[in-house]
Amino acid sequence: MYTQILIAGFGGQGVLFAGKVLAYKGLTEEKQISWLPSYGPEMRGGTANCSVIVSDTPVGSPIVHDPDILVVMNLPSFDKYENAVVPGGYAFVDSTLIDRKSERSDISAFYIPATKMARGLGIPTLANMIMIGKVIRETGVISMDGLRDALAKTVSAKHQDLIDANLKAIEAGYSFEG
């Protein structure tokens, strides 16, 4: 497998962190990994994105142009990247923030009201992890087993108390039907 993932949204939604969770978990599964953030001035208030590649073979270019999996958390990102998804690929859309459907008939699109769900669960900053839960469920790019250990590595030392909240969000996304 050679899975190219692009996660995009506004700065502050945790798109870089969401990518890190996939990367750390992939590493514990002994996959080849790359994680590349956008680091431009656009991160301050504008769009942010990160490229993640999870693979059984060495990773070539770390820049994802044509994702197998697209995760979008704002409309500008959906508009920008929808057509880049490879045929047969996946799009995961935060439907609280994006009120249109995909125009593609050759990809599998999932609409998750992640921002609303996160608010409802009392973890309003973790819509990103709800999206990741759904990605895991539908694509199997990483496994749910041992997720806690991977989160412990991703979350900084001073925020280890947030691991449970992150797991709760991932599980909510994983169980979301739709």
Rounded to 5 degrees, what are φ and ψ at 143?
-100, 155
49 binds other proteins (CB under 8 A): no
Q: Which of 11, 27, 86, 144 binds other proteins (CB under 8 A)?
A: 27
Q: Which residue has the tokens 């770390």?
A: 62
Write down the least CB distance from residue 62 to other proteins, Å: 5
Q: Which of 3, 13, 34, 139 binds other proteins (CB under 8 A)?
A: 34
65 binds other proteins (CB under 8 A): yes
142 binds other proteins (CB under 8 A): no
Helix (H) or strand (E) holding 50, with range, is strand 47-55
Residue 164 to residue 10: CA distance in whole angstroms: 24
Q: Give the rounded distance of the alpha carbon of 144 from its chain centre.
A: 14
Point out which span in 34-42, 86-94, 118-126, 136-144 binds other proteins (CB under 8 A).
Answer: 34-42
Write down the least CB distance from residue 41 to other proteins, Å: 7
Residue 53 to residue 38: CA distance in whole angstroms: 15
